[in-house]
Amino acid sequence: MGNNFSISLSLDTIITRCWDCAAGQASYICNLEDNLHALQAEVAKLKELRGDLMSRVRISEDEQQHKRLNQVEGWLQRADDVQVEKLCMGGCCSRHPRSTHKFGKQMATILQEVKHLKENGDFRDVACKPPLPSATKRPSEPTVGLESYVNQVWSSLQKEQVGVIGIYGLGGVGKATLLNQINNKFHDSTHDYHVIWAVASQDWLIEKVQDQIAKRIGLSNEGWESKSRDEKAGDIFNVLCRKKFALLLDDIWERFDLTGAGVSLPTQQNGSEVIFTTRSRDVCCQMQPSMASNIKVECLPPGKALKRFEEKVGSETLQMHPDIRKLAKAVVEECAGLPLALITIGRAMASKKTPPEWEYAIEVLRQSAASVFPGVGKEMYPKLKFSYDSLTSERVKFCFLYCSLYPEDHPIQIDELIHCWIREGFMDEHTDLSTARNQGRFFIGSLIEACLLEKVRFSDRVRMHDVVRDMALWIVGEFEKEKFLVKSGVQLKELPEAEKWEEITRMSLMDNQIENLTEILECPNLQNDLKVFMDDFFNSMPMLRVLDLSDNTNLEELPVGIAKLVSLEHLNLSFTKIRKLPVELKALEKLKYLNLEWTGDLEMIPQQLISSFSKLQVLKMMRCGYGCSLLLEEMEHLKYLNVLTLAFRSASELEKASRFNNLLDFRDSRSLNILALANLQNLYSIKCTNCMDLKEVKIESKIVEGARYFHSFRYVGLTYCKQMRDVSWVIFAPHLEKLLIRGCNSLEEIISEEKLDEVTESKANTNLFSRLEELDLCRLPKMKTIYYHALPFPQLKKISIVKCPMLKKLPLNSNSAKGQRLIIKGEKGWWKDVEWEDESTRTAFLPSFQPQ
């Protein structure tokens, strides 16, 4: 704009033609010649002035990113519009005296105009800083699978002011890309926010974030760097308190002090928003306690993961051979939906044009991808490792690495994992097992919050994402003194090779097909997790502390050489076919944990064997073939026993063992007084299966302090108790998380109003089902009522109701499960007949239904 200066192009021609005209008319126009020379001189000066001005404008615009002033733009436009060239038109070249006279007047007028322009063309300032745009476009490559998250955030902004929104998830899952898309949606949409982008990575100080904010809101100048953090905060606050802003804060690793940085807190009044990304769920909770306003970014489902991978591989490679597309799906499975892995591995495979190359890549990905794919060890794993580096203690770090011993995608039972950690010495030295277990739960929570472990929904298990597991093994190999040999779940049929067996500290051969071991291993430093062995296999493993032989369905006998494991503290024989325990186990004087659950073939345990384990803290014998009642007297001598799981066949046996803790399974008794369980202060769960004659669990009015004993109660499972009519006693379990009732033909209600009235309000749980996460009801033909009033259910995530034709009304209203993403599963016909408290309740829960 304003770059054409036309008067200089035709002036010489005009003057020449005008001079010829004027020479013949000299007697009529006395000053024409002087005016023509004067015009020529003034136009030359105007041209020079305009050129100098344009140079100043270009410097301001190109180098300083300023915008030219309107008055400068107007002057340049007027200079361009001087109509000198029109002098050659009309009468300027005519020989007629009247025309020549008119030409002379025009000449004089233009001369004055040029002089005026020249006099007003001296500008002190030619440009100024442009007004800040509401949002600045950020580069972002096309993505797959994030659209729903963008819409979710945008919907929250449109519907109501939420203040702070946290976006969290595993490293490499696409959080930064999602925030980029949200920023660009601001740029492309009409809104009244001033959008600010800032990065707060792990090693960034608050001052660096302040600098980014200051630059975006126009505060960054020569004196800015010399100011203190508090001074910067004051300046930032003075600007933002007058704006409606959206602060997009990427990659925070701990609670970010908004006030300390000068960011005015979002309120309903100012309408501002803070949207941040983090790998830590804990950071989300610290920044925004309401988890309903926080969003977890999940890995991509298989279809979208394949699409993302194929984008990086390219159609040319995929079309090189018919088998490559099929092999690509196998590679995508190994990436487990993590975008960072899909991108990194996809780029590496773009040059692989033959099926053998792809087959080899799949094999490598199942074991050690970093050794073959440079991008994995140099780019992907280091990015993921930041989450590991940010863990609060070395103990938590090694607890995390320990999880890599389990196979890919393996659900790990939390209780078993914690006991392994305890035996390995990862917990602090505690005087009691309960405190150590609580610390283990705390560590589990820390790893889940850091997105390094995933909670398996509706179960007491966790799993490790496949790529995170690979990263953990990479960390062990690259940075740790420990030496792991992990060949779990890779279908081995014989012992794997290792360069230096004597350096191995932990080995996992879980989920393989090794039937016979013909080599005695020299592993003096080995500490845990072997699955298969032969006689004398343990001779050279004096340091072994944890031996997990569970799930070996072909294991029928233990070798006497197990007595050589003098350091053993943890022995898991669950889900094996073992028929007897060798008396040589008495040599395991340090044993603290023994798991014999689901060993239905176990028929013989030598007398005084159990009592010889004087340090035993955990004994698990649920579904054990050996009669548990035969061991009760021996158990009395185990003064450190803290956790015991047994199966009883009568209420008298149950009451006899009431001093023991944790899980009780009782059968074949008509009634059970809840007082029989009153002393079980660590009771976690109770299962009642096939109790054909059990009609009721009593809650007599004389109970005074029963409720306080069930604060650790988490799970109740009742199956095929065909005469039981209600489960009202669960009112004494304020922390109950899961209630499962199946095949109870006579059950009419869960909470009986009549029985509840028998217990005074102070003795029962006034926050009924306040911790309940899952309610599973199946094959209850007489079931009519869960509870006779609507309940809040603040933690409820899933209700499953199948083959309960009489249950027409749920204890829900429009406020129940508010803020939770509740799932209700059932038959379509049953759902159609559900009676709702009001139309608003029906509307609130219609999206929750999923057909069974």
Give Cα separations from 174 to 180, 277, 440 (angstroms): 10, 10, 30
Helix extents (H) in 372-507:
374-375, 381-389, 394-402, 414-424, 433-449, 466-479
pLDDT of residue 530: 41
pLDDT at 525 over 60: no
Name residue, tokens 């600098």.
Answer: 211
Q: Where are the domains of the chain?
A: 7-128, 147-296, 302-366, 379-482, 649-852
pLDDT at 782 over 90: yes
Burial (CB count <10 Å: 0-12, 13-18, 19+), residue 98 = exposed
Summarize pLDDT for 475-511 with one digit per residue, the tens: 888 877 667 667 665 555 555 555 555 556 676 766 5
Summarize pLDDT for 708-741 with one digit per residue, the tens: 456 767 888 888 888 888 888 888 788 888 999 9
**Alpha carbons 240 and 839: distance in angstroms, whole number:** 43
Q: Band of the pLDDT at 676, cuts 50, 70, 90?
A: low
**Alpha carbons 18 and 84: distance in angstroms, whole number:** 12
pLDDT of residue 93: 44
CATH node for 147-296 = 3.40.50.300
DSSP string, 738-759: EEEEES-TT--BSS-HHHHHHS
**Alpha carbons 457 and 452: distance in angstroms, whole number:** 16
CB atoms within 10 A of CB 627: 13
Mean pLDDT, the chain, whole residue set: 79
Q: Checking phi first, is residue 818 left (phi over 0); if not, alpha (psi -120 to 50) or beta?
A: beta
pLDDT of residue 88: 46
**Alpha carbons 547 and 419: distance in angstroms, whole number:** 12
pLDDT of residue 491: 56
Look up residue 442 and give its amino acid.
F
**Alpha carbons 175 and 545: distance in angstroms, whole number:** 41
Q: Band of the pLDDT at 522, cuts 50, 70, 90?
A: very low
Measuring CA to CA, which residue among 5, 311, 1 is closest to residue 142?
311
pLDDT of residue 733: 81
pLDDT at 165 over 70: yes
Same fold, 147-296 and 379-482: no
Contact 544, 527 (CB under 8 A): yes
pLDDT of residue 22: 47
**Alpha carbons 144 and 305: distance in angstroms, whole number:** 8
pLDDT of residue 540: 65
484: CB partners within 8 A, 6+ apart: 401, 404, 405, 473, 476, 477, 504, 505, 506, 507, 508
Any idea what DSSP says for residue 793? Answer: -
CATH topology of domain 379-482: Arc Repressor Mutant, subunit A (1.10.10)
- Mean pLDDT confidence for 412-439: 85
pLDDT of residue 755: 75
pLDDT at 427 over 90: no
pLDDT of residue 482: 67
- Mean pLDDT confidence for 107-136: 77
Contact 549, 526 (CB under 8 A): no
Which position has the higher pLDDT, 288 or 803? 803
* CA diameter of the chain: 145
By mean pLDDT, which of 16-20, 394-398, 463-467, 566-570 is the weakest?
16-20
pLDDT at 404 over 90: no
Summarize pLDDT for 332-370 with one digit per residue, the tens: 998 889 998 999 899 989 999 999 999 988 888 877 777
pLDDT of residue 495: 57
Q: Band of the pLDDT at 89, cuts 50, 70, 90?
A: very low
By mean pLDDT, which of 174-188, 373-387, 459-473 is the weakest?
373-387
pLDDT of residue 505: 63
CB atoms within 10 A of CB 584: 16
pLDDT of residue 707: 44
CATH classification (class only), 649-852: alpha beta
Q: Band of the pLDDT at 375, cuts 50, 70, 90?
A: confident
User: pTM value?
Assistant: 0.67
Which position has the higher pLDDT, 388 or 630? 388
pLDDT of residue 646: 75
Summarize pLDDT for 810-826 with one digit per residue, the tens: 999 888 877 677 889 99
Which position has the higher pLDDT, 485 or 165? 165
pLDDT at 783 over 90: yes
pLDDT of residue 92: 44
The distance in angstroms from the start CA to the end CA of the chain is 67
pLDDT of residue 320: 92
Contact 314, 343 (CB under 8 A): no
pLDDT at 5 over 50: no
Q: Band of the pLDDT at 94, cuts 50, 70, 90?
A: very low
3-state secondary structure of 529: coil
pLDDT of residue 664: 55
- Mean pLDDT confidence for 791-804: 91
- Mean pLDDT confidence for 408-413: 86
pLDDT at 53 over 80: yes
pLDDT of residue 647: 67
pLDDT at 528 over 50: no
pLDDT at 661 over 80: no
Question: How many residues are listed for the chain in this entry?
Answer: 852
pLDDT at 25 over 50: no
pLDDT of residue 76: 83
Look up residue 300 and give its amino acid.
L
pLDDT of residue 705: 47
How would you label 431-447 residue by residue, b for 16+ Cβ within 10 Å and e otherwise? Answer: eebeebbebbeebbebb
Q: Band of the pLDDT at 249, cuts 50, 70, 90?
A: very high
Measuring CA to CA, which residue among 444, 639, 421 is closest to residue 548?
421
pLDDT of residue 6: 44
Summarize pLDDT for 275-330 with one digit per residue, the tens: 999 998 888 888 887 767 788 999 999 999 999 999 999 999 999 999 999 999 99
